[in-house]
């Protein structure tokens, strides 16, 4: 028999990025994509928000902008508009409000556990 430890919306991991992370940074730490819940030095423990949630984020320039429903990818260090060859370049969210500028702030619904545990 077991008992509930958390609600599954966050996960505490070690910052293994090689540098500091800041609160609300999108990151991949210990093979898990999420948003840092606090500032953390390299080697420090930090909570990652991994729940499905809507966030406002800076998106890269894309000809024609972004439409509702477009997939957004993360390459391990930044958002991207296409799938690429990098092992971490996988879809992590869906645009939920159109971005007509060629790059700019957009709203996305992030997929819960977008690539938790991927190596």
pTM over the 0.85 mark: no
- 43-101 confidence digits (pLDDT tens): 999 999 988 888 888 888 777 788 888 888 888 788 887 766 666 677 888 888 887 66
15 domain-assigned: yes
Q: How many domains are there within the chain?
A: 1
pLDDT in tens, 86-99: 666 778 888 888 87
Q: Evaluate whether residue 35 is within a structural domain.
A: yes
Let me know if residue 105 belongs to a domain. yes
How far apart, in Å, are the Cα atoms of 49 and each of 40, 54, 58? 14, 12, 18
């Amino acid at each position: 028999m077991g008992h509930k430890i958390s609600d599954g919306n966050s996960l505490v991991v070690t910052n293994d990025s090689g540098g500091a992370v800041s609160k609300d940074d999108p990151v991949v730490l210990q093979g898990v994509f999420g948003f840092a819940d606090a500032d953390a030095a390299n080697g420090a423990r930090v909570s990652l928000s991994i729940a499905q949630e809507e966030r406002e984020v800076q998106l890269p320039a894309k000809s024609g902008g972004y439409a509702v429903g477009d997939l957004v990818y993360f390459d391990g260090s930044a958002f991207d508009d296409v799938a690429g060859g990098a092992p971490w370049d996988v879809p992590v969210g869906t645009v939920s409000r159109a971005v007509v500028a060629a790059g700019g702030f957009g709203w996305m619904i992030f997929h819960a556990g977008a690539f938790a545990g991927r190596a």
